[in-house]
Chains A and B, each alone.
Chain A
């Protein structure tokens, strides 16, 4: 009994669909979970953020700033980990703006610059004015660029009231009341502690970093080289919860449901993959032949 040519043509498409179906279903499930408002899950689902120690540390670092203080945001996040730190970064920028700080954004890595441009564009859409945020652009060459920027952080041709305020204070890193380092894998806040602090010892540094950098950065917090550090999702969430009102709810909310769905799917796949060989081994031969 021969199959028709039409059936033959459909076979590869059906096979591809069978392979893609679980992935598409997972993506649809995650998209649906993302659309559910975070409040709907209630108290049963939440990312635990009971320890506010580090969030309080960030609050204290910001509390020390005077009105219209100059704050440098060193934006060197990377694309691989920025999804984790993005809500905290947005909340911190909103918090600083609400406190009346004047922000200057600079990047020393290419990925950091790309993400900084996207965030600057978002802030402009939200109505940020030129006297609130200045773009100091991209100073390449990573650590060498960082060291090179210590005596002069302002690029040639830069304009604006914030740029003029930095120039009037000498154009160097001493002009800033605080540096907020948005850290990534390529250039972490460790470079700031190693390269900048020996040259500018009185510069207060606060940092937001992805979880994988926490074991490396925690000692700097204990020694006081960092004024504040937020380096895990619960720490970041504790901080975001605390300042949610400052941004009028515009800071990205961290929903527990998409995370729960993703983790349960991952757990299911890992359990199935771990148990499958055991199940196959325990089957009698006749079952193995059939299955």
Chain B
């Protein structure tokens, strides 16, 4: 029963949006617009729910005073700071200068620094992966080494040859594998969506 309701809703929503794309009709456009508004509200509700769950998960840690207390203080403090800047009386919401300052002066530099460390973490992962000695790790690292050599920023004829080879690798084998994966994923998603809509398959979901 539940599955047929979900399938019905998905089918009706999809049909409305598809018909709106195919047929120019003001009533249909209004209906499709309403559906899109509902989707936006649902996404907003999901985001608020996620934030509330995160806060609820960390609040007990703050109260108990365990070793996770400082993590909880940082997380809840950061959330509180952004919410206060965006929701205080007279604020412009997400475009308020205080929110913008918190984002550009704190959030982006901190997050960018963390992402910059990915380089080091990757090198660490390479060492650990090879120390385990699996064939898959070896193949991955050998392929990565070849690509790193091709991407070396050298000038002159050697650099041009490396760059041409790198472009060929990207445009031919890599693109073929990537597009093959995309086509495979699209077929799988279509099949699984059709199974859900038609109610085909096991009933355990």
Contact = CB atoms under 8 A, between A and B. Distances in A.
A192 B114 CA distance: 29
A128 interface: no
Interface in A119-171: 120-122, 135, 137-138, 140-142, 144-145, 147-148, 151, 155, 157
A114 B108 contact: yes
A283 B66 CA distance: 50
B126 interface: yes
Interface stretch (A38-46, A60-68, A239-247): A38-46
Interface residues of B, number: 58
Contacts of B104: 117-118, 120-122
B154 A44 contact: yes
Interface in B155-205: 155-156, 159-160, 162-163, 167, 170-171, 174-175, 178-179, 182
Contacts of B95: 135, 137-138, 155
Given A140-B44, A215-B175, A263-B151, A273 B127 contact: yes
Which bucket holds chain A's interface residue count? 35 or more
Nearest to B92: A157
A118 B148 contact: no
Nearest to B163: A48
A153 B148 CA distance: 42
B118 interface: yes
Given A79-B111, A256-B153, A273 B160 contact: no
29 contacts: A43-B155, A43-B156, A44-B156, A45-B153, A47-B153, A48-B159, A48-B160, A48-B162, A50-B163, A51-B167, A79-B108, A79-B111, A79-B112, A117-B99, A120-B104, A137-B94, A138-B95, A140-B40, A144-B36, A199-B21, A215-B175, A218-B171, A266-B123, A267-B148, A269-B123, A270-B144, A273-B130, A273-B141, A276-B130
Given A117-B108, A148-B33, A274-B138, 4 more contacts: A113-B103, A137-B95, A140-B44, A259-B153
Interface of B: 21, 33, 36-37, 39-40, 43-44, 47, 92, 94-95, 99-101, 103-104, 107-108, 111-112, 115-116, 118-120, 122-123, 126-127, 130-131, 133, 138, 141-142, 144-145, 148-149, 151-156, 159-160, 162-163, 167, 170-171, 174-175, 178-179, 182
